[in-house]
Structure 1
Amino acid sequence: MQTTAEYYCAYCGEPNTTFIDLSAGGQQSYVEDCQVCCRPNLLYVRIDEETLDVEIDTEYEE
């Protein structure tokens, strides 16, 4: 099952939308390129398993 969530690029600050795989567990991390500036963002995704609320932190991918 998938859902979408929004995060802000660690480089340019622009909002981005990403797909979240809810079946992949409550804590996930992966790299995704910004849809605006194309730089790689390291995303840390946390999913509340009861409410399915998604929280995303980003940082520069080195």
Structure 2
Amino acid sequence: METTAEYCCAFCGEISSTFVDLSGGYTQSYVEDCQVCCRPNVLYVRIDEDTLEIAIDTDFQE
């Protein structure tokens, strides 16, 4: 099952939306380019097992 969540770009600070695949586990990480500045962000996704609330932290892609 997929849902969307927002994250803040580690480079430009803009808020973007991304698809999160809930079947991928409660902790995930992957690289996604910012929809505004096109620079690569590492997204660290955490999903609460009970509420399915999604939290995303970002970092620079080195």
Fold match (TM-score > 0.5): yes
Match of 1:61 in 2: 61
2: distance between equivalents of 1:49 and 1:22?
A: 10
Q: RMSD in angstroms over aligned alpha carbons?
A: 0.3
The secondary structure found in structure 2 opposite 1:5 is strand
Per-residue Cα deviation, 1:3-28 (whole angstroms, up to 9, x for no partner): 00000000000000000000000000
State yes or no: 1:16 paired with 2:16. Answer: yes
Q: TM-score, normalised by structure 2?
A: 0.99
Question: What are the residue-to-residue correspondences of 1:19-58 with 2, within 5 Å?
Answer: 19-58=19-58
Long gaps (5+) in structure 2:
none
Instruction: Report percent identity of matched pairs.
Output: 71
Q: TM-score, normalised by structure 1?
A: 0.99
Long gaps (5+) in structure 1:
none
Task: List structure 1 segments (4+ residues) > 4 angstroms apart after TM superposition.
Answer: none
1: distance between equivalents of 2:50 and 2:41?
A: 27
Shift of 1:36: 0.2
How many residues are treated as equivalent by the alignment?
62
Shift of 1:49: 1.2
2: distance between equivalents of 1:28 and 1:38?
A: 21
Shift of 1:42: 0.2
